[in-house]
Amino acid sequence: MARNKEGLVLLLDVGPSMHGALQEVENVCSTLVRKKLVYNRSDEVGIVLFGTKETCNDLAKELGGYKHVVVKHDIKVVDEETKGALQNLPRGTAPGDFLDAIVVGLDMLIKRFGNIKAKQRLCLITDAQHPLRDPPQGTKEDQVDTIADQMKKHDIKMDCIVFREAGVHHNSVMDENDQLLYHFRDRSVAKVVQVDTPTSLLGALKTRNVLPVTIFRGDLEVSSNFKIKVWVYKKTSEEKFPTLKKYSDKAPPSDKFASHEVKVDFEYKSILEPDTVVPPDQRIKGYLYGPQVVPISSAEWEAVKFKPEKGVKLLGFADRSSIPRHFFMKDVNSFVPEPGNTKAIVAASAIARAMQEMDKVAILRCVWRQGQGSVAFGVLTPNISSVKNVPDSFYFNILPFAEDVREFQFRSFSRLPPSSQPTEEQQEAADNLVKMLDLAPPGREEILRPDFTPNPMLERYYNFLDLKSNQPDANPPPLDTCLRRITEPDPNVINYQAPLLQNLSKSFELKENPKRKKARMQERLAYTGLDDKAKKPEDPSAEKAKAIDGQAKKSEDPHALATAVEAMFPSTEKVGKIGDLNPVQDFETMLAERSSSAWVLKAIEEMKNYTTALIQNSPQGDYYQKALECFVALRKACIIEQEPNEFNQFVTTLYKRLKNVDDVAKFFQLLASKNVLLISKEEASDSDVTEEMARSFFLKTEASSQ
């Protein structure tokens, strides 16, 4: 059996106390089988039920005992029959003994694989509420030790999931059963988790077995003469959707050997000669540098690449508080001392505990493999172990470089007028909303814990994939109840707290938010600098502005301030044309002195016409810089005024008209180099252009697929 194949036995409690959860048990186990059919088609799965009325297992036949344990499905390669065995599980009538079930499952694995080196696992799902039978000899703890010894001998691991709904009263039997399961954990043969909701149950069982692979094995270099042997694993990594392959139905149905493969070929053609295909030996990559394109061959690019040596080096230590949480990027890695290396374990533990005590973190420079073209710069945080026989370790997070940090300046709420700030009643209503939807209320387990919450999009995908495999014409089914609990607030909480929500809606004036065709007040101020105008004592409208502002504050109307400012600067004298002296300023003045949405479109049209004339009448690119400034102003205005299509259509039409004119083609290269692209959906929701389309607009390659 290959190292990446697995033998698994599911041990499922179907006793009376588990009847309410069996539907969820069926769902989670079926999901496990479905994922194995996608990712691990050679894995082998067996199913054992305990708490049943009947008894059917080899040990009961050979030795007696082991009652109310049924082998529902022998260990075999996963297939549709395995999935079918998990449907309509019987509702047992006898209390389940999970130790008997573990022994039966262990016997099945040993008989199936013997001394074959293979990954073998038991998965126990129970509520552990019923008393276990006393063993013929010794105590129950002795029996657990005997089982654990056999599991270690054959390298068999076990996952224990204890499902008890919230509100179940704990008694001495449950406490004893929990201690026995924890004893398996202390012997390093099992992992035990407790869940109290169907959603947590769905996430507690790891339905896809990901092989832990190190991304680095080597020295953590503290100094030239002090190095610690470490292994680095990925702690978290985004689970991607399975790769969907292109499929061709052109092959005749009778051809059993057809691969249905789709082959895609790309052809590159010259802009000057659209009918001529450029062969590979005549193509070279070019990089925009100002208005020109600099060609760089693959050999030159390879020579200029940074090629650091493989290794992990400590650069120094910093206060934990000096590294903000929002600086963490990408996946999280786990640094562990080399297994079995006592010196490395002691050294890593000493550093980790010193860092924890002094509230410090370490800054590392990491190159995971030889030939890697980039350097990882990150922060190492100590992780002090609370479990016996598990050494201390570290968590590693990638930190950004200066180019990766995005600084956004936002106006402070404290600078807003009183009419735009919440009252005490509104603040209290908002506080109550937060408390109502608290996912970790005092005295209760946290809801939607990340390690127990599956990705609802992936789960729905696998469910639909399974449905389509049996019913090709099936439509997507409604969202599963468990997945709905992840994507929506708990309906029970919403119904119970209906008065609080009503009070919240009464505290705030709720209005329909139609599509706006006017810029926000702050953006209108940005056009003309109205804040500065209002401060000038010689402004004849200053006294009027103060009076209107006072009326706005007294009314406590959130729209009063906008009304007041419009009254301060009535648009009686409009700039109706964009001049050559300050075209951008004229354009912004036209936008600010609006009287209707038609006036905004008039200003945009004026700027489009002016910019077009500027480009066409620019000998040898003399006015390209001014045209660029006009383009930037026009693009910004179209985003603010929610008119992205006006800008995109203008640029597209202009590009098609003038792209073959040599001098004008350089201007479009200048636009691309300054990142003045089409407005994408990410910038304005009304746009029809994706970010990828915007970036590739000025540099196109023609592709044809066969």
Please tell me the predicted confidence (pLDDT) of residue 600.
Answer: 81
Give how far Cα 506 sits from Cα of 95, 426, 510, 511, Å.
53, 9, 8, 12
* Dihedral, 132, 135, 136, 139 alpha carbons, nearest 10: -130
Please tell me the predicted confidence (pLDDT) of residue 576.
Answer: 61
Please tell me the predicted confidence (pLDDT) of residue 553.
Answer: 44
Please give the DSSP secondary-structure letter assigned to residue 261.
B
534 contacts 542 by C-beta, under 8 angstroms: yes
**For 653-682, what is each residue's pLDDT tens digit?**
888 888 777 677 788 888 888 888 899 888
More confident residue, 556 or 678: 678
Examine the pLDDT at 413 and tell me if it is beyond 80.
Answer: no
CA separation for the pair 553, 417 (Å, rounded): 8
Q: Which element (helix H / strand E) includes 611?
A: helix 597-616
CA separation for the pair 132, 140 (Å, rounded): 9
More confident residue, 206 or 307: 307
More confident residue, 35 or 68: 68
Q: Which residues contact 8 (CB under 8 A, 6 or more apart)?
A: 43, 44, 45, 46, 120, 121, 122, 123
**Which of 502-506, 522-526, 558-562, 644-648 is predicted most confidently?**
644-648
Q: What is the 3-state secondary structure (H, E, C) of 431-482?
A: HHHHHHCCCCCCCCCCCCCHHHCCCHHHHHHHHHHHHHHHCCCCCCCCCCHH
Please tell me the predicted confidence (pLDDT) of residue 216.
Answer: 94
Please tell me the predicted confidence (pLDDT) of residue 125.
Answer: 94
**For 619-636, what is each residue's pLDDT tens digit?**
777 888 888 999 999 998
Please tell me the predicted confidence (pLDDT) of residue 36.
Answer: 87
Q: How confident is the model at residue 522 (pLDDT cuts 50, 70, 90)?
A: very low
Q: How confident is the model at residue 601 (pLDDT cuts 50, 70, 90)?
A: confident
Q: How confident is the model at residue 699 (pLDDT cuts 50, 70, 90)?
A: low
Examine the pLDDT at 521 and tell me if it is beyond 60.
Answer: no
Of all residues in the chain, the percent with pLDDT exceeding 70 is 87
636 contacts 603 by C-beta, under 8 angstroms: no
CA separation for the pair 42, 38 (Å, rounded): 10
101 contacts 48 by C-beta, under 8 angstroms: yes
CA separation for the pair 526, 409 (Å, rounded): 14
Please tell me the predicted confidence (pLDDT) of residue 594.
Answer: 61
Query: Which of 11-20, 39-48, 379-388, 409-418 comes out lowest in average pLDDT?
Result: 409-418
**For 446-491, what is each residue's pLDDT tens digit?**
788 888 888 888 888 888 888 888 888 888 888 888 888 888 887 8
355 contacts 303 by C-beta, under 8 angstroms: no
Q: How confident is the model at residue 536 (pLDDT cuts 50, 70, 90)?
A: very low
CA separation for the pair 634, 652 (Å, rounded): 14
Please tell me the predicted confidence (pLDDT) of residue 561.
Answer: 39
CA separation for the pair 611, 631 (Å, rounded): 7
Please tell me the predicted confidence (pLDDT) of residue 515.
Answer: 60
Please tell me the predicted confidence (pLDDT) of residue 251.
Answer: 81
Please tell me the predicted confidence (pLDDT) of residue 542.
Answer: 44
Examine the pLDDT at 568 and tell me if it is beyond 50.
Answer: no
Examine the pLDDT at 602 and tell me if it is beyond 60.
Answer: yes
| Mean confidence (pLDDT) of the chain | 82
Amino acid letter at 64?
G
Please compute the mean of the pLDDT values over residues 126-148 and round it to a whole number. 90
User: Cβ–Cβ contacts within 10 Å for residue 319, how many?
Assistant: 10
Amino acid letter at 275?
D
Pairing of strands 329-337, 311-319: unpaired
CA separation for the pair 589, 599 (Å, rounded): 11
DSSP secondary structure letters along 27-79:
HHHHHHHHHHHHH-TT-EEEEEEES-SS-B-HHHHHTS--TTEEEEEEEEE--
User: Cβ–Cβ contacts within 10 Å for residue 93, how many?
Assistant: 13
Of all residues in the chain, the percent with pLDDT exceeding 90 is 31
Please tell me the predicted confidence (pLDDT) of residue 4.
Answer: 67
Please tell me the predicted confidence (pLDDT) of residue 215.
Answer: 93
Please tell me the predicted confidence (pLDDT) of residue 209.
Answer: 67
Q: Which among 339, 150, 313, 389 has a CA at the least distance from the CA of 233?
A: 339
Query: Which of 63-77, 119-133, 150-164, 410-424 comes out lowest in average pLDDT?
Result: 410-424
CA separation for the pair 295, 284 (Å, rounded): 7
Extract the tokens encoding 304.
Answer: 């200029």
Q: Which among 507, 519, 539, 497 has a CA at the least distance from the CA of 424?
A: 507
384 contacts 353 by C-beta, under 8 angstroms: yes
Q: Which element (helix H / strand E) includes 607?
A: helix 597-616
Please compute the mean of the pLDDT values over residues 186-194 and round it to a whole number. 88
Please compute the mean of the pLDDT values over residues 556-562 and round it to a whole number. 41
Please tell me the predicted confidence (pLDDT) of residue 312.
Answer: 95
Q: Which residues contact 102 (CB under 8 A, 6 or more apart)?
A: 11, 122, 124, 147, 158
Q: Which element (helix H / strand E) includes 155?
A: none
- pTM for the whole thing? 0.63
607 contacts 582 by C-beta, under 8 angstroms: no
- Tokens 């022998």, located at residue: 74
